[in-house]
Amino acid sequence: MFATYSLYVCLLLGVQVELTPTDGPTRTVDLSSATESTVAYAADGKQVTLPTEQLRRLRFSTAPVNAIDSAQLMLTDGSRVAISSATLANDELQVHSPSWTDTKAISRKSVHSILLQPKISDAQRTQWEKFSENQPAADVVVLQRKDKELQAIEGAIQAIDEETVHFVFDGDTIEVKRSRIVGLLFVASQSVATQPSRAQLSTVDGAVLKVAKLESGDDGLKVSTMNGVVLTVPYARVRDLDFAATSTAYLSDLEPESQNFVPYLELPQIADLDTEWFRPQPDRQLSRHALELTGSDGSTSTVTKGLGLHSRTELVYRLAGEYRRFASVCSMSNRHSGGAVEIIVKLDGREVSRVNLSTDSGNVPLDVDVAGANRLTILVEYGDEIDIGDHVNLCDARLLK
């Protein structure tokens, strides 16, 4: 009954998706219903139901993903969303986001951090990421000092209104103007239960939600995240529903066992600047723009996952025999002219693949059998044009179980 009703509603609303199975070509279908375990659709006059284990992705929109340039909220399960407003009272945040329609109440126990000032320098972003990786013993307010360095101050966040953050420091309650605050970190709660991830939902606004439960409805996809936050995302805001996320590990989400960058010219006076600017960029290009692929017709499509790398960079990942394949689509950045590199893939120190990449080679697929391997090495080696323009995009770089 529900599936029949959903099919009628979705056809009426014109909800069509690009369905990509784990094996087989992508096709456009009319979505009937979707849960975390099954997807039903109509195609060629037939109703088909597939278990999500046989699906890689549903794509609802081919629109470019907007980079999050507003305030950003991160949940404790790794979900992140752009937000237009957030206030806190009685341990509950009232949050509004372009990814959903209404103001949403979220327990502070489910919130990891809020980045209030996203337009910060690369050096400041590195500092913020380091603060975020730690598990503080108390709440943290991150401020920008006069010398542009960030400073983390531990205390207790009591309340947040539109203008100020009420912060207890050394026994005194201080009202700090939000305009002075770069971000907020919330002390981790041990009482938030997490559920296994069954899919990953990304929106056209740049949000990423770790999905534990899913149900399609009249007004959008009802999502329960891994830590129990329930949201309804309108179909018009959904970009991708990635079911391979539970059997796929994206390199941008993994911490390499080691990474090493060697500049073409090693100049001690700019060594630190080189290392900072040319370090691997997860889910964006070296230029800090969104990852992109250029089609044969000259059109550009945005890719949400991958790595931006420069020659000569070497990354080593520990596999421990858990994965079957490594796959990616390699390209030179279209934001720079010139550039030529070799991408060398090694398994346990043995070279298994070598790809020549230049601005003339277009998009080059990379697919390597890694079954039984313990370590994966990816080396972006200098090409014929020294290191000029060697900005490489490894799009959808992932390990498959």
pLDDT of residue 15: 86
Classify residue 140 as left (phi > 0), alpha (psi -120 to 50) or beta.
beta
pLDDT in tens, 380-399: 988 776 766 678 899 989 99
Distance CA 23, CA 19 (A): 11
125 three-class SS: helix
pLDDT of residue 143: 96
pLDDT of residue 276: 60
Bridge partners of residue 310, in order along the sequence: 391
CB 39 within 8 A of CB 58: yes
Distance CA 32, CA 70 (A): 34
CB 189 within 8 A of CB 137: no
Please identify which residue in the block is written with the tokens 């992705």: 57
Radius of gyration of the chain (CA): 22
Cα-flanking dihedrals φ and ψ of residue 34, to 5°?
-150, 135
Kindly indicate the confidence band of residue 180, based on its pLDDT and cuts at 50, 70 and 90: very high
DSSP codes joined into one string, 379-395? EEEEBTTBTTT-EEEEE
pLDDT in tens, 275-327: 566 788 999 888 788 888 877 777 777 888 899 988 889 999 999 888 889 99
Distance CA 308, CA 92 (A): 37
Distance CA 112, CA 106 (A): 12
20 three-class SS: strand
When comparing pLDDT for 197 and 172, which is higher? 172
Residues in the chain: 401
pLDDT of residue 2: 36
When comparing pLDDT for 245 and 355, which is higher? 355
CB 307 within 8 A of CB 281: yes
195: tokens are 């559920």
Query: 243: closest CA among 400, 103, 123, 24?
Result: 400
Most distant CA atoms of the chain, gap in Å: 70
Distance CA 120, CA 259 (A): 25
pLDDT of residue 35: 95
Please identify which residue in the block is written with the tokens 């070509």: 25
Mark 80-106 as b/e (b = at least 16 C-beta within 10 Å): bbbbeebebeeeebebebbbbeeebeb
When comparing pLDDT for 164 and 53, which is higher? 164
Classify residue 270 as left (phi > 0), alpha (psi -120 to 50) or beta.
alpha
pLDDT, mean of residues 249-254 = 90
pLDDT of residue 196: 84
Residue 46 has pLDDT above 60, yes or no: yes
Q: What is the mean pLDDT of the chain?
A: 86
Kindly indicate the confidence band of residue 190, based on its pLDDT and cuts at 50, 70 and 90: low
pLDDT, mean of residues 144-156 = 93
pLDDT of residue 193: 67
Mark 160-192 as b/e (b = at least 16 C-beta within 10 Å): beeebbbbeeeeeeeebebeebbbbbbeeeeeb
9: tokens are 């509603």
Quick one: 281 exposed, middle or buried, by C-beta within 10 A (0-12, 13-18, 19+)? buried
Residue 149 has pLDDT above 80, yes or no: yes
Domains of the chain: 2-59 (2.30.30.100), 61-244 (no CATH), 250-400 (2.60.120.1060)
Residues 6 or more apart whose Cβ sits within 8 Å of residue 335: 285, 287, 289, 391
Residue 268 has pLDDT above 80, yes or no: no
Distance CA 195, CA 181 (A): 32
Residues 6 or more apart whose Cβ sits within 8 Å of residue 360: none
pLDDT of residue 340: 85
CB 1 within 8 A of CB 9: no
34: tokens are 């979707």
Residue 41 has pLDDT above 50, yes or no: yes
Distance CA 59, CA 140 (A): 38
Bridge partners of residue 359, in order along the sequence: none
Fill in the amino acid letter for 98. Answer: P
CB 330 within 8 A of CB 361: no
